[in-house]
Amino acid sequence: MTGRCERAGYPRHASQVVEWLTDVVSTPLRGPGASLAGLERVIPEMEFWLPARDIRARELDRLCRNYTLDGAPRPMLADREVHGMLMGYADLVFEHEGRFWVLDYKSNHLGYSDDDYSRARLTASMAENRYDMQAAIYLAALHRLLRSRLGAHYDPDRHLGGAIYLFLRGIDGPERGVYLVEPVRALLEGVDVMLGPNGSQP
């Protein structure tokens, strides 16, 4: 990492970057309670494909408003439908103590003070950027993958942990940079119906 900083023209900041990244990977994540450095079963940049049988943007919007971000106001989606396939990459999927999680790194700048990364500010950023919709799709993809792999043994309440949004600049803030989107059953089932009968293809 020091060498990369030097090559980028920031040799004086190398030690600060190393210290910051050390904090990021060693801080326990709210939800699983484990740090990134402590994880053993991980899948970085997991690709997924989801069939979009009849995804109505307004219906997905309604589900997200009802079951995420504590009902925070957010921009309205355009009224349109999606048919075909959805393809995406999850930054990190991991398993910890029998539960599976999807994690997305965010570099959003919310302010210069650690207090600028409070739960209220994280929620506002999640809402403004409609990360709630991204989380719903990620959770649906992981839900379908686990259902396919675990079969009859799969129980979302036991196996699916949630979607973690790690705001890297807020690692020293009151929430340690973490906003957790819970896998509410009604949200999972609503998105699953819109996706149609086929499973995800990681």
Annotated catalytic residues are 104
Q: Please give the Cα distance from 186 to 189 (Å, whole number).
A: 5
Q: Please give the Cα distance from 170 to 178 (Å, whole number).
A: 8
Q: Please give the Cα distance from 191 to 136 (Å, whole number).
A: 7
- C-alpha closest to that of 168 among 179, 154, 159, 157: 179
**What burial class does residue 108 get, using C-beta atoms within 10 Å of its C-beta: 0-12 exposed, 13-18 middle, 19+ buried?**
middle
Name residues whose C-beta falls within 8 Å of residue 112's C-beta, 6 or more positions apart in sequence: none
